[in-house]
């Protein structure tokens, strides 16, 4: 221990005695008599006793007691800060983000409907042009046939058939609008979401995975529609499917949802 440390910390009598003992014992470099050996045994026991006394004295030192109280306050404060932080992030902030996301999706659907309508309008216009051309060719073919011009009538019939085939292909593969995707509003907040699930029984009771225990059991008749291979209902098996496929899990009777981790 340095002189500075000694000056800064008020040492107890036990600490001082231990320092004196250490200084004296470290001065023993050689034992030459039985008496010295017996004294050394006493010193060894004294060192063990000093270790215990120093530890007890340390824990009772006013500075350590005060530090312990401050640490308890610090731990409680850190817990409150973390709870408040998560409450803000996963409460009103998350609700606002979800509201913005719902507005974005609604706008996407609105714009997609407009784009789809424009695509249908254009498709109808092109089909109308094909029909107009087909009708014109048919009228010309009939005139040619009436005049007895078989060659011209055949050529016109072939053209009309080609136009009809094109129209049929257009009907089978109509124009479609490109998918409308609006950029998400950046929040600058990272959040890890975890998949959860709940299940509704025939009697109307709803349970989540956390509700299942050794005492809670359900029968296939309690959950109509759930495939039999999930029975005895295995929360771990369901969670495995949920974690892998999320909302596309495909398990009848099981509702997928998310909540902040």
Whole-number Å distance between alpha carbons of 64 and 132:
97
Asked if 168 and 106 sit in the same domain, the reply is: yes
Do 240 and 208 lie in one domain? The reply is yes
Q: In the chain, how many domains are there?
A: 3
207 CB-near residues (< 8 Å, 6+ apart): 198, 199, 201, 216
pLDDT score recorded for residue 5: 42
Q: Residue 22: CA atoms inside 13 Å, Cβ hemisphere, count?
A: 10
- Would 41 be classed as within a structural domain? yes
Instruction: List residues bridging with 239 in a β-sheet.
Output: none
> What single DSSP character describes residue 61?
S
Which phi-psi region, left, alpha or beta, contains residue 231 (left: φ > 0; alpha: ψ -120 to 50)?
Answer: beta
**DSSP code for 247:** G
What is the C-alpha to C-alpha distance for residues 185 and 108, in angstroms, rounded to an integer? 13
**Length reported for the chain:** 261
pLDDT digits 0-9 by tens, 48-76: 888 888 888 777 777 777 777 777 777 77
Q: Which domain holds residue 27?
A: 10-60
DSSP string for residues in 210-238? GG--SS----GGGSTTS-GGGTTT-HHHH
**Looking at the structure, do residues 168 and 103 belong to the same domain, yes or no?**
yes
pLDDT in tens, 166-191: 999 999 999 899 999 988 878 777 77
Give 148's DSSP letter: T
Give the residue, 221 or 122, on which the prediction is more confident. Answer: 122
Q: In 10 A of CB 45, how many CB atoms?
A: 10
Select from 256, 150, 127, 115 the least CA-distant residue to 196.
256
Q: Is residue 74 part of a domain?
A: no
Cα gap 83→85, rounded to integer Å = 5
> Does pLDDT of 105 surpass 90?
yes
Tell me the pLDDT tens digit for each residue of 136-158: 999 999 999 999 999 999 999 99
For residues 56 and 100, membership in a common domain is answered with no
pLDDT in tens, 229-240: 777 677 888 898
> For 100-114, what is the mean pLDDT?
93
Lowest mean pLDDT across 44-53, 85-94, 110-119: 85-94
Note whether 129 and 158 are same-domain residues.
yes
- pLDDT exceeds 90 at position 259: no
**Given this model, what pLDDT does residue 3 score?**
42
Task: Count Cβ atoms below 10 Å from residue 72 Cβ, excluding itself.
Answer: 10
Between the two ends of the chain, the Cα-to-Cα distance in Å is 48
């Amino acid at each position: 221990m340095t002189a500075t440390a000694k000056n800064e910390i008020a040492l107890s009598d036990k600490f001082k005695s231990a320092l004196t003992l250490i200084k004296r014992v470290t001065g023993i470099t050689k034992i030459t008599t039985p008496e010295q050996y017996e004294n050394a045994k006493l010193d060894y026991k004294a060192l063990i006793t000093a270790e215990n006394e120093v530890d007890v004295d340390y824990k009772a030192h006013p500075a350590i007691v005060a530090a312990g109280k401050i640490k308890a306050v610090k731990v409680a404060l850190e817990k409150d800060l973390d709870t408040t932080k998560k409450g803000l992030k996963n409460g009103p902030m998350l609700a606002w983000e979800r509201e913005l996301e719902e507005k974005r999706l609604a706008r996407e659907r609105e714009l997609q409907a407009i784009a789809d309508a424009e695509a249908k309008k254009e498709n109808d216009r092109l089909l109308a042009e094909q029909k107009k051309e087909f009708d014109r060719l048919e009228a010309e073919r009939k005139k040619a046939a009436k005049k007895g011009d078989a060659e011209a009538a055949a050529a016109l019939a072939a053209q009309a058939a080609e136009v009809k085939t094109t129209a049929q292909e257009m009907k089978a593969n109509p124009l479609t609008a490109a998918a409308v995707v609006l950029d998400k509003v950046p929040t600058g907040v990272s959040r890890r979401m975890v998949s959860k699930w709940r299940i509704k029984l025939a009697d109307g009771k709803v349970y989540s995975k956390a509700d299942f225990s050794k005492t809670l059991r359900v029968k296939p008749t309690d959950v109509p529609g759930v495939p039999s291979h999930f029975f005895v209902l295995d929360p771990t098996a369901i969670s495995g499917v949920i974690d892998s496929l999320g909302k596309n899990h495909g398990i009848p009777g099981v509702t997928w949802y998310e909540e902040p981790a």
